[in-house]
Amino acid sequence: MAAAGSSSGVRIKDIGSLTLHVFTGRWFMVFASLLIMSVAGATYIFALYSGDIKSSLGYDQSTLNLLSTFKDLGGNVGIVSGLINEISPPWVVLLLGALMNFSGYFMIWMAVTERIAKPPVWQMCLFICIGANSQTFANTGALVTCVKNFPESRGVVLGLLKGFVGLSGAILTQLNNGFYGNDSKSLILFIAWLPAAVSIVFLRVVRVLKVVRQANELRTFYNLLYISLGLAGFLMVIIITKHKLQFSAEHAISAAVVISLLFAPLGIVFREEFKLWKRKHFPVSIATENPTTSTVTGFVTIPLPIASPVKEVSCWKTVFDPPERGEDFTILQAIFSIDMLILFTTTTFGVGGTLTAIDNLGQIGRSLGYPVTSITTFVSLVSIWNYMGRVASGFVSEYLLAKYKFPRPLMLTFVLCISCAGHLLIAFGVHNGLYVSSVIIGFCFGAQWPLIFAIISEIFGLKYYSTLYNLGGGASPLGAYILNVLVAGRLYDNVAHKQLKAKGMIREKGEDLTCTGVDCYKMSFLIITFATLFACSISFILVLRTRKFYRGDIYKKFRDAADAEDAAHTEMTVRPIATGEPSSTIPMER
């Protein structure tokens, strides 16, 4: 009985040890980050609830575009979250983001449902800026942490996690249909509480871990990719067949399937963490016939290099004396570098153009006479292809870089050129062209982000990546303001006023200003096309400047550091076979 009890106790102890190992492991941290990212894209479905804001609060298109610009400003300017992450653990950043997400979107929901008095425009801009800015906190807390934990797979990590952000619009839409039905006002409340709840649940799971080289690392990420492709495929089927579904069991079932697919990576996480736990608790024994160390201690002594103290120099004195590309730049060195200026300009006019198209997709569809169901389909298509663009650019660019030394800036240039086709389809109002345009713009918008963020990490290093990552993203709201508010919004209102004048009508104060026809956005998207071509030319300059850098082995220092870390922490107990001493034990976790 005692033996049985002892055996049972060991098994229970092992189960507890395995459970603790799984929940504190790096792969469970990746899973937590995936869930956080999968609900962090509320800014991408603005077109679904912007009509409620416009009609409930009596805004014209310029005012709505101003609100959209503050959304983009909040969603992309993450300098604050980056600086906070430099001096605090990721859970602090995630908690602040959760609080901002709930407070910002909850106040918008209160205003739209008239539970509070109609706020002035500046307050609505503040609410949506705060709510959208929570996305940068989620990105900084989860995505930046994963990149630091897997530096040799950064392109894959960025593609996968940013892919889930792109997919989050469709995920949130399907889950909202399951919870509340096809109610766009309830969608605002839903995006207020769900992302905040998910971040709070995983506050202590997401953290920076010691970098180690793990077996099957890339294969594991590919397995996670396959599950995400299954999720994207299911969402695509639901989008295509949605006109046949009514809010009843169908929406509830589709929401349940989405949730199941979101948690499917847990199987991969458990498998990989079990392998690591097994190696840790049941190490491989190696016997040697020719011991090279004393049998008294039984350990090989590995001399460790003693680093000489480095004298700290003020960052202000080194602003214009940057290190070689690939080394760790200071924040000021990166800000004042020509490479960052080129990336910032490219993002301003490249991402700014696609962002303008996405933000105005609902209004574009209405002006061209598409039905409401088609407009919802456009938004979902953008979300799906946004995801496809992100994972494709992340995984494909990593493969091409490793195998052919194909530079990421060149791929970014190609993506910008392709997006021009989507802009031209909108400009000329091609019959049913908005379906194709949604696919092109969604793909290109998504593909740009992993490339931009990977380029920043490769050129400027990872030491201050939290801040530099958000600095690079801060260019898109500037482009959105120029192209969305100053160009698209004003030209739309000008055409709308001309149409009213031609009909002999006068717009009443607080009345919704609506424009119909191809002319509403024709000139706007011709201008956006030329701006994007300018971004292509600027991006190609970066290709020329970094061609030598990308021909080299840009990840060599991470492999060398990981090998040195493994050697320094590996204990080897050696025994001569003839003496019968204990065999050598080498921990195999890598």
Domain range summary for the chain, segments of one domain joined by +: 14-207+219-278+328-508+519-568
Residue 64 pLDDT: 85
Q: What sections of 77-181 are H helices per DSSP?
A: 79-87, 90-112, 121-138, 145-149, 154-180
d(CA 77, CA 72): 8
Helix (H) or strand (E) run with residue 284 in it = strand 284-286
For the domain 14-207+219-278+328-508+519-568, what is the CATH code? 1.20.1250.20
Is the CB of residue 388 less than 8 Å from the CB of residue 232?
yes
Question: For residue 438, which of 356, 358, 547 has the smallest C-alpha distance?
Answer: 358
Is the CB of residue 51 less than 8 Å from the CB of residue 182?
no
* C-alpha atoms less than 13 angstroms from C-alpha of 295 in its C-beta half-sphere: 13
Question: For residue 382, which of 427, 431, 344, 435 has the smallest C-alpha distance?
Answer: 435
d(CA 292, CA 276): 29
- Residue numbers of the chain with a pLDDT score lower than 50: 1-10, 285-308, 310, 572-590
The model's pLDDT over 340-396, given as tens digits with 9 standing for 90+, comes to 999 999 999 999 899 899 888 888 988 888 887 777 778 777 878 888 898 899 889
Q: Which string of b and e fits 134-149 if b means at least 16 CB within 10 Å?
A: bbbbbbbbbbbbbbbb
- Supply 122's token pair: 């500046």
Question: For residue 159, which of 438, 383, 451, 417 has the smallest C-alpha distance?
Answer: 451
Dihedral angle sign, alpha carbons of residues 126, 105, 163, 468: positive
| One-letter amino acid for residue 470 of the chain | N
CA distances from 587 to 276, 277, 349, 350 (A): 10, 11, 52, 49
The model's pLDDT over 455-488, given as tens digits with 9 standing for 90+, comes to 998 999 888 888 888 888 878 878 888 898 889 8
DSSP 8-state class, residue 516: -
CB count within 10 Å of CB 568 equals: 11
Question: For residue 144, which of 162, 167, 170 has the smallest C-alpha distance?
Answer: 162
d(CA 500, CA 504): 6
Full-model pTM: 0.73
Is the CB of residue 524 less than 8 Å from the CB of residue 488?
yes
d(CA 160, CA 151): 14
DSSP 8-state class, residue 116: S
Is the CB of residue 480 less than 8 Å from the CB of residue 72?
yes
Dihedral angle sign, alpha carbons of residues 113, 114, 118, 122: negative
- Supply 311's token pair: 């004298």
